[in-house]
Structures are given as structure tokens and as C-alpha cells.
């Protein structure tokens, strides 16, 4: 039977009062639970323990004192089940009791990297998912470390300061490292941070980036040959600066095994809950989401949040006039021949000039404009999908659903449910 190395920790006198015992760290059936033992709970000596007492000098740690047993004790399963959810623990044969220091070591450690001018939201997401104590719900906790990549008081973009208790050395203890949105995609990250991430990756740690934090991973070379995503606003810049990275701007997050990346802002919640799902299963991840009052999984990708405006042309001229005419007549047939005729060009010349100005083909541009028009109608009206399809040039609801699903990632009905409410709230 293993013995806790902090058993009878020398140099740290303990209280002799069993009444000071409050926290029992239990690991059973591969899961963790903190059971709070108050005065109305079963006395500790009835589960083969002498007493669990807090140290006087290091009160955040607990030292387990026993009569003739090591710190790690096999306790009676039926008694432990009375302290936990019986439906979750019925199959447990043995339960182990640890002092808090050793309990920290068996927990999955997540390290959050922070730096000057950090976004409060992207910093708060991993704090909420991995740093909050949910033991009162019988849910597993993470050991959570906040590690500063730079020295001194760190300022957030909102103006308040933060002091991280750990430096980059804390990453050596982590099985998962989270890198939030980087303050400036045009600025190279600190060399020390890049080196620390490479070392963490080399040790087998899971590396997670949120939003523009992906640029730090790219500087470290951790994304070469991998798919990655970021906020749709930065996708083009990421692809241009790091051609070895396969950038997908249309998804909320990408899991490449040891390296995971998310899209912008709220997509960080999706990825962090995905990590919980990997570690503890869908049931636990759903419970985390309920506690946070967020959906455990969102349909679709970033495409439903991206506005695609009419491409800027080279000023007034036949092509610019044709773009404006087509935008105003999306409900009518718009073949390449129709567009070329309006621009008073041959089809071949028109297609070449169109790609030079817009960066895409005429039919692809028309489809994008029709999708954009359909999004606006779905947000601002209660018109049936069939009517929206006809007015926006899709002809039938089935055709609209097909193209809308491919381009946006969700159905027209689901898109309306998501965005119509936000439109109503803004106008209220």
C-alpha cells in the first residue's frame, strides 16, 4: 500500500483537535471528490481514521494523522458511499484517502499563461472552467495554476491589474497549458514563453490556444503541418505569416490531439468544455455547462458570425455598377452571362476582371450575397423560409437549406432562433 510522503510532515506542528478537520480528499473508481465533513457527518474514527487536522503554519494543506496506518488508507466502501452520490460510486471497491499535497499531485493540472494587456474575457474562461471548485456538485476539480509570462504587475485591456502567483516555471507541473488571446498579432511573443511552450509540448503536455493565442503556438512551431483555427478576423493573417499551418476559419475549435485551437472569444468556452469532455466524459462536461449556464455544445462554426460585405472595387465603373445592380436584384436569375451583359463585357473578360477585383468567381460572389441577404431576412422578419428563399434568389426552401447549411454551418431555422432574439433585444 503506498504511503504519502507528507505523512507526519516534519517542521509543521498540527492541531490536536479533531474538530478542526473539515476536508477529506477522496479518490475512488478513477474519479476525484472533495467531501466536506461537518459536525453532523460520520465521525472520522469510524472510517478507520484517527483524525484529519489542519496544519498551523501551512493552513492550505492538510496532514492526515493515523494510528497505525500509512497516509494512504483503504477505507470502507459502504461508508464512503454515504458521503457521495451512490449512483456514481456503486462499483467502487476501494477508496483512497490522501493529504491535500498528494491529492494535488494526482489531480490533472491546468496552467493558464497570462501576460501584459491580456483580454479579461479570454483569461476568465479557463479560470471559470478549470479553476472553479464544483465539488459541492460531486464533480471533479482541476488543479489550476496561473503563470505569468512577464514580470511585475500585469495590466488587462480593461485597465485593471493582475498579479500571477507563478511564473513560467509553473508550466513544468501542468498536463494542460492554456494560452489565451495574444495582445497583438503583429507582435512577436516573449522568447521565454515560446521556449516554455516548446518544452511543455516536448514533455507531452496538451497545449490549448484561445482566439489569437494561436499566433504564439505558431511562433513556437507547434502548428506546422497541423490544422488550426483562430478568430475569423485573424485567419488570413495567420495563413499568410505561417504557410506551414493549415488554417480553417470556419470552425469553433480544432482538436489535433496534443494541440487544440479555438476561434474567437466565446469559442474558447466551447473548446474548454471539449477538454473537460475528453478528460471526464460528456456527462461531467454537460454538468459543467449547466453550472456555467451555457450550452454544452454549439451547432455550426464561425461562418454564421461573419459578415461578408461587398468587395471594394477600384472606384466607379462598369464592374462596380454591376456589383451594386446584382446586390439589388438577388431574387432574379444572375448567371455570368447576365452579369457580363450588364457590365458590357464579354463573359471571358468579365470573369477575369471580376476575379481581379473581388478575389472570387462571379457565381461564388452571388451565392455569398444571397446567403448574406437571407441572414438579414431571417434576423429581421418572421417570413417563412420558403418566402426568404424565393426573395433571395434560391428558388426553393430546399435549395436555401442546402447552401445555407454548407456556408453557415447551421440550418436557416436554427440561425433564426439564435440571432433573431439578439436582434429583438437590441431594438427593445
Residue 417 has pLDDT above 80, yes or no: yes
Tell me whether residue 190 is in a domain: yes
pLDDT value at residue 64:
33
pLDDT value at residue 263:
92
* Claim to verify: residue 246 and residue 294 sit in the same structural domain: yes
* Claim to verify: residue 288 and residue 211 sit in the same structural domain: yes
* Claim to verify: residue 217 and residue 351 sit in the same structural domain: no
Q: Which residue has the cell 430546399?
A: 398
Residues 6+ apart with CB under 8 A from 146: 111, 112, 114, 127, 164, 165, 166, 170
pLDDT tens-place string over residues 380-392? 889 999 999 999 9
Residue 126 has pLDDT above 80, yes or no: yes
> In the structure grid, which three cell numbers stand for residue 175, read together?
498536463
> Using DSSP, how many helices (H) and how many strands (E) does the chain show?
16, 16
Pairing of strands 206-209, 259-262: parallel
Show the DSSP H helices in 39-176 as ranges. Answer: 77-81, 86-89, 100-106, 120-131
* Claim to verify: residue 135 and residue 153 sit in the same structural domain: yes
Tell me whether residue 8 is in a domain: no
Is residue 171 a contact partner of residue 204, using CB atoms and an 8 Å limit?
no
Show the DSSP H helices in 221-264 as ranges. Answer: 235-241
Which of the 8 DSSP states describes residue 303? G
pLDDT tens-place string over residues 264-322? 888 999 999 989 988 887 778 888 988 898 876 665 556 555 554 444 444 446 788 89
pLDDT tens-place string over residues 209-243? 999 999 999 999 999 999 999 999 999 999 999 99
Is 212 strand, coil or helix? helix
Q: CA torsion 353→358→360→361, rounded to 10°? A: -50
Question: What's the predicted TM-score (pTM) here?
Answer: 0.57
Tell me whether residue 63 is in a domain: yes
pLDDT value at residue 36:
32
Q: In CATH, what number is assigned to the domain containing residue 267?
A: 3.40.50.880
Tell me whether residue 1 is in a domain: no
* Claim to verify: residue 282 and residue 389 sit in the same structural domain: no
Round the average pLDDT of the chain to a whole number and report it: 74
CA distance 288 to 280: 11
* Claim to verify: residue 44 and residue 141 sit in the same structural domain: no
pLDDT value at residue 221:
97
CA distance 127 to 121: 10
> In the structure grid, which three cell numbers stand for residue 79, read together?
461508508
Of 105, 122, 151, the last residue of a domain is 105
* Claim to verify: residue 296 and residue 382 sit in the same structural domain: no
* Claim to verify: residue 113 and residue 90 sit in the same structural domain: no
Q: How confident is the model at residue 92 (pLDDT cuts 50, 70, 90)?
A: very low
* Claim to verify: residue 338 and residue 371 sit in the same structural domain: yes
Q: What is the DSSP string of 10-30?
A: TT--B---GGG--EEEEEETT
* Claim to verify: residue 76 and residue 221 sit in the same structural domain: no
Q: In CATH, what number is assigned to the domain containing residue 403?
A: 1.10.10.60
Is residue 123 a contact partner of residue 156, using CB atoms and an 8 Å limit?
yes
Tell me whether residue 309 is in a domain: no
Tell me whether residue 4 is in a domain: no
* Claim to verify: residue 273 and residue 141 sit in the same structural domain: yes
Tell me whether residue 311 is in a domain: no
Of 303, 336, 359, the last residue of a domain is 303
Tell me whether residue 308 is in a domain: no
* Claim to verify: residue 274 and residue 350 sit in the same structural domain: no
pLDDT value at residue 272:
95
Q: What is the domain range of residue 84?
A: 18-105
- The β-bridge partners of 179 are 209
Q: CA torsion 417→423→425→428, rounded to 10°? A: -140
Residue 340 has pLDDT above 90, yes or no: yes
Domain count, the chain: 3
Of 268, 303, 338, the last residue of a domain is 303
Amino acid at each position: 500500500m503506498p504511503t504519502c510522503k507528507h505523512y507526519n510532515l516534519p517542521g509543521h506542528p498540527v492541531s490536536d483537535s479533531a474538530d478542526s478537520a473539515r476536508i477529506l480528499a477522496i479518490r475512488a473508481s478513477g474519479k476525484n471528490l472533495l467531501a466536506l465533513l461537518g459536525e453532523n457527518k460520520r465521525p472520522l474514527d469510524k472510517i478507520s481514521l484517527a483524525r484529519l487536522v489542519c496544519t498551523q503554519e501551512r493552513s492550505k494543506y492538510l496532514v492526515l494523522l493515523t494510528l497505525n496506518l500509512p497516509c494512504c488508507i483503504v477505507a470502507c466502501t459502504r461508508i464512503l458511499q454515504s458521503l457521495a452520490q451512490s449512483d456514481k460510486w456503486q462499483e467502487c471497491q476501494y477508496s483512497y484517502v490522501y493529504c491535500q499535497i498528494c491529492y494535488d499531485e494526482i489531480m490533472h493540472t491546468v496552467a493558464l499563461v497570462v501576460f501584459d494587456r491580456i483580454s479579461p474575457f479570454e483569461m476568465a474562461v479557463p479560470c471559470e472552467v478549470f479553476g472553479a471548485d464544483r465539488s459541492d456538485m460531486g464533480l471533479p476539480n482541476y488543479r489550476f495554476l496561473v503563470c505569468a509570462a512577464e514580470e511585475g504587475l500585469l495590466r488587462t485591456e480593461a485597465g485593471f491589474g493582475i498579479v500571477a502567483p507563478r511564473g513560467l516555471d509553473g508550466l513544468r507541473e501542468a498536463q494542460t497549458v492554456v494560452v489565451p488571446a495574444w495582445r497583438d498579432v503583429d507582435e512577436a511573443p516573449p522568447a521565454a514563453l515560446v521556449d516554455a511552450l516548446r518544452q511543455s509540448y516536448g514533455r507531452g503536455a496538451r497545449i490549448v490556444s484561445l482566439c489569437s493565442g494561436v499566433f504564439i503556438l505558431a511562433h513556437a512551431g507547434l502548428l506546422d503541418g497541423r490544422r488550426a483555427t483562430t478568430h475569423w478576423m485573424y485567419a488570413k493573417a495567420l495563413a499568410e505569416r505561417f504557410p506551414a499551418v493549415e488554417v480553417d476559419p470556419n470552425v469553433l475549435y480544432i482538436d489535433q490531439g496534443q494541440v487544440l485551437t479555438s476561434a474567437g472569444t466565446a469559442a474558447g468556452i466551447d473548446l474548454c468544455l471539449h477538454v473537460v469532455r475528453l478528460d471526464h466524459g460528456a456527462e461531467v462536461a454537460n454538468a459543467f455547462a449547466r453550472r456555467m449556464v451555457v450550452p454544452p455544445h454549439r451547432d455550426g462554426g464561425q461562418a454564421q458570425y461573419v459578415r461578408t460585405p461587398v468587395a471594394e472595387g477600384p472606384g466607379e465603373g462598369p464592374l462596380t455598377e454591376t456589383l451594386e445592380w446584382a446586390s439589388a436584384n438577388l431574387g432574379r436569375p444572375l448567371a455570368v452571362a447576365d452579369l457580363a451583359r450588364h457590365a458590357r463585357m464579354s463573359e471571358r473578360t468579365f470573369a477575369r476582371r471580376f476575379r481581379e477585383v473581388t478575389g472570387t468567381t462571379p457565381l461564388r460572389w452571388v451565392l455569398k450575397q444571397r446567403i448574406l441577404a437571407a441572414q438579414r431576412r431571417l434576423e429581421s422578419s418572421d417570413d417563412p423560409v420558403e418566402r426568404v428563399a424565393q426573395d433571395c434568389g434560391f428558388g426553393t426552401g430546399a435549395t436555401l437549406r442546402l447552401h445555407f447549411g454548407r456556408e453557415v454551418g447551421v440550418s436557416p431555422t436554427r440561425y433564426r432562433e439564435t440571432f433573431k432574439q439578439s436582434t429583438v433585444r437590441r431594438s427593445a
